[in-house]
Amino acid sequence: MSLKQYIEQTILPQYDAFDGGHKRDHAQMVIDESRKLAREHGADEQMAYVIAAYHDLGLRFDRETHHLHSGEILMADQTLRQWFTEEQLQVMREAVEDHRASSKRPPRSLYGAIVAEADRQINPTLVIHRTMAYSQKLFPDGDFETLYARSKEHLLEKYAEGGYMRLWLNSERNVRSLEELRAIIRDEDRLRTLCQEWYNAHDSGMGYTEEQIRDIVAAQRKFFRTGETLPVQWRIKQLKRLKEAVIAHQQEFMDALAADLGRSELEAYLCDVGPIIVEINEMLSGLRRWARPERHWSGLMCFPSLITKVYKMPYGVSLVISPFNFPILLTIGVVAAAMCGGNTVVIKSSSKSAACTAVLKKFFAEVFPPEYITLIDGGHDVADMCLAQRFDKIFYTGSPAVGKHVLAEAAKHLTPVALELGGETGNWCVVRKDADLKDAARKIAFFKLTNAGQICININQIAVAEEVADAFIAELKAAFVAQIGEHAEHNPEYPKLITDAAYDKCAKQADAYRERIVFGGTGDRETRRYAPTLIYPVDINEPIVQHELFCPLLPIVPFKDAEADALMDIIAEREHPLAMYLFTSNIRWANRVMQTQQFGGGCINEVCIHMMVKGVPFNGTGHSGMGAYHGEWGFREFTHPQTVLRGHTLFNLPLREHPYSGEAGRQKMKLLKLFER
């Protein structure tokens, strides 16, 4: 059978079978378009039929869900190779790719989508995402669990050992991809996470329009204007409800943290759940005192007014954009501060921590009405739709790059913003030669293992006195082994990186310094666990110590202990970090450094626990952020002072009134200077 016969005898009759044959006209149009496209790229008539053959897949392409079976693409590839060489097929692909690149949406005849799929062939993540899309088409009203169960069943039927899709997976590349796909299907946590990623982006996120988000904000503004959030007793009642709900849902939170980040229950409670309860308790005990209006003596200059009050007023409708690394703590903790201040809250949670986002969305929907607290999920497009609205306060936690974008969007409405950022050039830890090396190593190892280094205040790089560098590195290796074992990537207690892309980025950076890795440097991509990795020696001007790593890599920079002040000068010239850690027995030197460097917060001979102290702020400065929260500082962040002077109708002095000249003016000047004393 010739290709032309294949088109005429196979493709066109299939179109006839649909909708009374009217699609045959569409098929002819597809062929005509294909001929035109072929001519534009110098291809012959024969190549037009190649393009048309690919268009045949449009019959099985669902335009609403963009679902296309990868196996059908592979079948088409195999079919076309009966008549054409790979070089000829490549001509067609390039023509189609050019067409795709010039179009923001899939063209009517689906050139770009089909060819991109054919080139990728079996992509495990893509297969899973498209299976979820297909499931949603079958069950348009289905919740995540329904779609997940159906997708898992479908994936097992198609791709498990003996599944019928194996028939078209002939190339070595596809066999490897199939093995990876099967490994994901067997891993319940990983499969659920990938399905949840798609669900967040396509079910909820894609469902939001700018108009819907505008309506959400308008509903919250209407509720805020009723004044219901203003009474302190009402806020306390809501905070108590929040605390009770957190305790009731703590197991769901810990399960979600395990799914997204591989956290053990203890680490999940220590780092996410427990601190929320502590934070809310502090608010409950202090809110009445914090919210009490300040009373000031108005002064003689304002006589006959005697009292001026400063009220702590909520901003109104706030937007909280939370990150993936501590998705429970850095969502609920910030929301609690906003509630404490008397605000309503729209939450945009991270699409990367899919399981946590799903749990949080359900959590807030159960505990509070949407006109008070509501969570919006989805990707960056949804975040931008939120930022396009006029909020009264925005609180963002994340990277400096996105922080700049948030600030720029907020400036359009002159909306006040709090930014909690990681710091452009990372957080330094300095180990002097007089430090207790064993103690320093133990604490640093614990901190770097926590959340696999995905912490905004974590140590990005260590500067160690070269006189003790070898001894310190030996202690640090021993501390890692003692706490997590020789191969952290195989320890189920060790957290994982948030996405495959994060793992690949970490591994790529490690490979660039492979010859200087003195510990670690290994990982398991299937579980996304990458071992804590020491890189030594690293020059202070190398790229790896001039940007935030946010992973288990730990570069070590040697310096002469006598030149410690020069080292601190170099650090001071870079962007302000979120945290600073010093290990030394010279407390006088350490105190001087801590009082002269610019950073958010830090420790001397300790790591990270400064943020657990009650009554102190957590904040950055410059590229590590602006604003502060925790306890009373969070209350202050979500309120603004409003000064109100109470005047009187009697005994008003004419000091401020004309005339300002002559004898009256001279007498007024004397009184003004007297009152200034």
pLDDT over 70, % of the chain: 78
Note whether 253 and 327 are same-domain residues. Answer: yes
- Per residue in 499-554, pLDDT (tens digit) is 888 999 999 999 999 999 999 999 999 899 999 999 999 999 999 999 999 999 99
Note whether 160 and 241 are same-domain residues. Answer: no
Which of 164, 183, 203 finishes a domain?
A: 203
Active-site annotation holds for 456: yes
Q: How far is CA 553 from each of CA 400, 524, 534, rounded to the nearest angstrom? A: 20, 15, 6
What's residue 73's pLDDT? Answer: 39
Residue 636 falls within a domain, yes or no? no
Catalytic residue (choose from 33, 117, 420, 548): 420
Residue 246 falls within a domain, yes or no? yes
b/e map 202-235, b = 16+ CB within 10 Å: bbbbeebeeeebeebbebbbebbeeeebeebeeb
Note whether 163 and 281 are same-domain residues. Answer: no
Note whether 465 and 443 are same-domain residues. Answer: yes
Answer yes or no: are the C-beta atoms of 425 and 548 closer than 8 Å: yes
- State the chain's mean pLDDT as an integer: 84
Residue 625 falls within a domain, yes or no? no
Residue 92 falls within a domain, yes or no? yes
Mean pLDDT of 94-113: 44
Which of 203, 225, 255 finishes a domain?
A: 203
Is the pLDDT at 620 greater than 50? The verdict is yes
- Per residue in 333-389, pLDDT (tens digit) is 999 999 999 999 999 999 889 899 999 999 999 999 999 999 999 888 889 999 999
The length of the chain is 677
Catalytic residue (choose from 271, 456, 506, 603): 456
Note whether 502 and 603 are same-domain residues. Answer: yes
Is the pLDDT at 152 greater than 70? The verdict is yes
What's residue 119's pLDDT? Answer: 36
What's the CATH code of the domain at 364? 3.40.605.10
Q: Please state which of the ranges 67-71, 315-319, 441-445, 663-667 shows the lowest mean pLDDT.
A: 67-71
Note whether 464 and 382 are same-domain residues. Answer: no
Note whether 405 and 444 are same-domain residues. Answer: no
> Based on the structure, what is the number of domains in the chain?
3
The SS3 call for residue 18 is coil
Note whether 213 and 197 are same-domain residues. Answer: no
Is the pLDDT at 393 greater than 80? The verdict is yes
Note whether 397 and 482 are same-domain residues. Answer: no
Residue 644 falls within a domain, yes or no? no
Note whether 94 and 223 are same-domain residues. Answer: no
Answer yes or no: are the C-beta atoms of 454 and 551 closer than 8 Å: yes
Which of 396, 421, 446 finishes a domain?
A: 421
State the pLDDT confidence band at 155, using cuts at 50, 70 and 90: confident
State the pLDDT confidence band at 21, using cuts at 50, 70 and 90: very low
Note whether 414 and 443 are same-domain residues. Answer: no
Active-site annotation holds for 603: no
Residue 491 falls within a domain, yes or no? yes
What's residue 76's pLDDT? Answer: 46
Residue 302 falls within a domain, yes or no? no
Residue 306 falls within a domain, yes or no? no
Q: How far apart are CA 662 and CA 537, in angstroms?
A: 79
Q: Please state which of the ranges 304-318, 375-389, 408-422, 513-527 shows the lowest mean pLDDT.
A: 375-389
Instruction: For tokens 């913003």, name the residue.
Output: 417
| Residue range(s) defining the domain that contains residue 37 | 3-203
What's residue 181's pLDDT? Answer: 80
Note whether 198 and 212 are same-domain residues. Answer: no
What's the CATH code of the domain at 586? 3.40.309.10
State the pLDDT confidence band at 114, using cuts at 50, 70 and 90: very low
Residues in a beta bridge with 557: 463
What's residue 77's pLDDT? Answer: 44
Mean pLDDT of 163-169: 43
Q: How far is CA 667 from each of CA 3, 59, 305, 349, 670, rounded to the nearest angstrom? A: 107, 95, 21, 64, 5
